[in-house]
Amino acid sequence: MTVFCASCQNNQSRAPEEGVSQELARQRHNQISRPAYDLSFHIPASQAEPVTGTATITFTHHDDPKDVILDFDGGSDHIHQVKVNGETADYEVVNGHLLLPRSFIRQGQNRVFVKFTSGDQAMNRSEEFLYTLVVPDRASTVFPCFDQPDLKAAFSVKLELPETWTAIANGELTREQKQNGRRTMIFSPDQPVSTYLFAFAAGVFQTESMTRKNRTITIFHREERGDRLQASLDDIFELHFSALDWLENYTGIPYPFARFEMALLPGFQYSGMEHPGAVWYRDNRLILDEEPAITESLSRAALIAHETAHMWFGNLVTMEWFDDVWLKEVFAGFMADKITHPQYPEINHELEFFLTHYPRALAVDRSRGTHPIKQELENLKLAGTLYGAIIYNKAPIVFRNLEELMGEENFRRAVQEYLHTYAMDNADWDDLAKILNRHSEQDLEQWSERWIYGTGMPEISTEGMDEETARAARYLKMHEGFLDGEGDVYTYFRELKAQIRREENHRITNYLLHNLDEVFWRFFDQDDRMRHAKALESLLWDKVQQSQASDKNTYLGYYASVILTDSGADRLADLLEGSLEIPGLSLPEERRFNLIAALKLRDHPEASRLLQELKEHTSNTDRQRRIAFLQPALSDDPSVREAFFHGLADPANRRPEPWALEGLSYFHHPLRHSHSVEFITPGLELLEEVQKTGDIFFPLRWLDATFNGYGCQKSVAATRDFLEQDTGLHPNLHLKTLQAADLMFRAASRRGDSG
């Protein structure tokens, strides 16, 4: 029975706002230290039944007794019992918080016991498995806690599961037993970490392990085809071991945690997430084709190095507040570049860095939605709005400049001092900047003010670049000039085709193909596309046939993207049927689905049959679920597509998020624009709710999918009307909308169709 705190009810002005405000976080940080959590979760076999649990939370309270505010976003009906220091306690659940009155709180050590039902928002449940994902402030949807990064804690976890399931969590598995069709697994605490790094996954998983130098790495996975996994397994292990060795050497600090395990998850929202002891990866980012393109292999290696680097940068030393989330991300990416360079000596890493970061950074900095690297954040519930290309692409460019200013060895010594000084603690940018200044002959204060707190990109100079990178820089400048209104659309399109014909570097060609695809769909109208389709299809098909095996799928993907002629679509159908063969080309199930989807968007007569055959052929239940999820978005019946779109208004239908985004992108495909343009406004009207219930990258990706290929007056008018009329839209979401809509605005302007 829920009991409410009378004193709290009589003083509603004291009630904390929704989320974790910076004011609340500072207040708790000053009052509370050394929190620890002993958590128990009962996970039923049926997805329809809720996950229940108990939490014993211990902490030291430094002041005279004051009310204690825990975070719990489950509502009062999800709290079943509360005891404080052994007594049944009054409490109030308000605005996502559990308020405990001061009469139950002691100065010094306190113990709070809560029996609760977890919310589903961060549980990511399916019939055969679940996993938590609580960054940045979603731990409080799973269990009551102090959900802020600067109150690090030790976590003990007990999981009660169906007997056929297994589990992975942050700590070491210390005890396990089976009884009455259930399995109990107990995980001991490891080093203290922030609540956003708490994690467990449970379900039907298989495991693979490898031990080297007294270190064991274990992989939890759901890949039923052993040969597909085996083709990638050795590389996955080797890349992790190598990254750990490199980071220990560079930082001078041994791996800070007891275990290193990971789960490869179908439909995972991110490419990876760095929970200590329990790293999550999206399965298809690590399990590659038997002969992947070198760029795919490098991308996998960089992802592994990035998540491994977080064990030091983010987990060992954590930001005080999420306004410095950029700091852990830039360090992880910066170190990942250093780690992967010697692993792939055949790669031009200068070129790779340039094409990975500069186009994406410029895409935001050229827009009216640009912002500084370090942004203000008044409440953790909005932390997800900080993520984007400024953090992941501009910040690495800025940090490379910082290392050049300081010198590589000075920079390394500063990094080592930073990690040693704040190990198992929290620090902000100013803390790091002071250390950097001590190791630098330059005064970095002005540098910081310009590049960390200011906006704008450094001018791109080809001086000192190798020939390939200089060539890529010229292509980038040409593309940015075109987007700024220089030259003629048709002349630029012809120039792109000419560059693709003669360019021999596959990485540069891929960049040119991306630009070509962008011009074709955004800057051409349908008549323009049809006039150029046959010649463009011929160019790309020749590349598919003539390129080396590892590059064929790249060209085939762009071919499938642009085909508009019946003969071009028939050729793709013949390839999928098997009546047409291309030596060296492999089409695993995921690639086959993408190609069949291209035919479905073109209403090809064989597409539905091919899709059904693929669905029946695959034995992997997760890939079957993906196909079933996306079929309505690909339907040739507008009413079926509309039903799919309207279904996305329910957060439960937006999971897994990558599938929802893929489906929304199909819904708004340029070939469907005549129908889907009317749904831009309804999609934008969901933005704030999407941000509230979705994960950190979801709002911007929702916008990208909504604006997919648009460049017409109707789409521009709908977006401008929304931005002008929704005056309550949070400024960060306003900026995200301007970022995502930038190409649409420019395309409409170039087409003389801006309205």
In a shared domain, residues 192 and 307: no
Residue corresponding to tokens 């900026």: 735
Helix (H, G, I), strand (E, B) or coil at 22: helix
Alpha-carbon distance of 133 to 110, in angstroms, equals: 28
Q: What is the pLDDT of residue 507?
A: 94
In a shared domain, residues 7 and 104: yes
Alpha-carbon distance of 494 to 585, in angstroms, equals: 28
Asked, for residue 246, whether it belongs to a domain, the answer is: yes
Residue range 564-587: average pLDDT? Answer: 96
In a shared domain, residues 189 and 299: no
* Helix residue ranges per DSSP H, 252-277: none
In a shared domain, residues 671 and 732: yes
Instruction: Please state, as a whole number, how many other Cβ atoms lie within 10 Å of the Cβ of residue 444.
Output: 18
In a shared domain, residues 40 and 129: yes
Question: Which one of 173, 204, 235 terminates a domain?
Answer: 204
Crossing angle (nearest 10°) for helices 621-630 and 657-667:
30
What is the pTM (predicted TM-score) of this model?
Answer: 0.94
Count Cα atoms within 13 angstroms, Cβ side, for 282: 15
Instruction: Please state, as a whole number, how many other Cβ atoms lie within 10 Å of the Cβ of residue 9.
Output: 13
Q: pLDDT: is 37 or 457 the higher one?
A: 37
Q: What confidence category does residue 40 fall into, taking pLDDT thresholds of 50, 70 and 90?
A: very high
Tokens standing for residue 515: 């630009």
Q: What is the pLDDT of residue 112?
A: 98
In a shared domain, residues 295 and 333: no
Sign of the Cα pseudo-torsion (298, 303, 309, 314, in order):
positive
In a shared domain, residues 603 and 667: no
**pLDDT at residue 274 tops 90:** yes
Asked, for residue 558, whether it belongs to a domain, the answer is: yes
**DSSP string for 392-407:** IIIHHHHHHHHHHHH-
Helix (H, G, I), strand (E, B) or coil at 199: coil
In a shared domain, residues 341 and 305: no
Q: What confidence category does residue 85 fall into, taking pLDDT thresholds of 50, 70 and 90?
A: very high
Cβ–Cβ under 8 Å, residues 124 and 133: yes
For 167-206, how does the pLDDT look when each residue is reduced to its tens digit (9 = 90+)? 999 999 999 999 999 999 999 999 999 999 999 999 999 9
Strand partners, 93: 98
Asked, for residue 369, whether it belongs to a domain, the answer is: yes
Tokens standing for residue 246: 């490199």
Cβ–Cβ under 8 Å, residues 547 and 582: no
Question: Which one of 168, 188, 204 terminates a domain?
Answer: 204
**pLDDT at residue 610 tops 60:** yes
Question: Which one of 312, 346, 373 terminates a domain?
Answer: 312
CATH number at 408 reads 1.10.390.10
* Helix residue ranges per DSSP H, 668-712: 673-676, 680-685, 687-693, 698-706
**pLDDT at residue 714 tops 60:** yes
Query: How many helices and strands in the chain, by DSSP H and E?
Result: 29, 21
Residues 498-506: contacts with CB under 8 Å, at least 24 apart: 499/475, 500/539, 500/543, 501/539, 505/348, 505/351, 505/468, 505/471, 506/293, 506/294, 506/295, 506/547, 506/551, 506/554
With a CB cutoff of 8 Å and minimum separation 6, the contacts of 450 are none
Crossing angle (nearest 10°) for helices 294-309 and 226-251:
50
Residue corresponding to tokens 């983010």: 314
Print the domain residue range for 750. 639-755
Asked, for residue 400, whether it belongs to a domain, the answer is: yes
Asked, for residue 496, whether it belongs to a domain, the answer is: no
Tokens standing for residue 453: 């707190």
Tokens standing for residue 498: 């000419």
C-alpha separations of 689 from 125, 382, 699, 737 in Å: 20, 12, 9, 14
Residue corresponding to tokens 């993907």: 557
Tokens standing for residue 587: 């089409």
Asked, for residue 481, whether it belongs to a domain, the answer is: no
Cβ–Cβ under 8 Å, residues 260 and 240: yes
Alpha-carbon distance of 660 to 693, in angstroms, equals: 13
Q: Which amino acid is at 455?
A: T
**pLDDT at residue 14 tops 90:** no
In a shared domain, residues 134 and 34: yes
Q: What is the pLDDT of residue 289?
A: 84
What is the longest distance spanned by two Cα atoms in the chain? 80
Tokens standing for residue 50: 């809720």
Asked, for residue 332, whether it belongs to a domain, the answer is: yes
Cβ–Cβ under 8 Å, residues 368 and 486: no
In a shared domain, residues 164 and 225: no
In a shared domain, residues 143 and 273: no
Q: What confidence category does residue 422 fall into, taking pLDDT thresholds of 50, 70 and 90?
A: very high
In a shared domain, residues 245 and 334: no
For 355-390, how does the pLDDT look when each residue is reduced to its tens digit (9 = 90+)? 999 999 999 999 999 999 999 999 999 999 999 999
Asked, for residue 382, whether it belongs to a domain, the answer is: yes
Q: How many domains does the chain have?
A: 5
Q: What confidence category does residue 755 fall into, taking pLDDT thresholds of 50, 70 and 90?
A: very low
Q: What is the CA radius of gyration of the chain?
A: 26
CATH number at 18 reads 2.60.40.1730
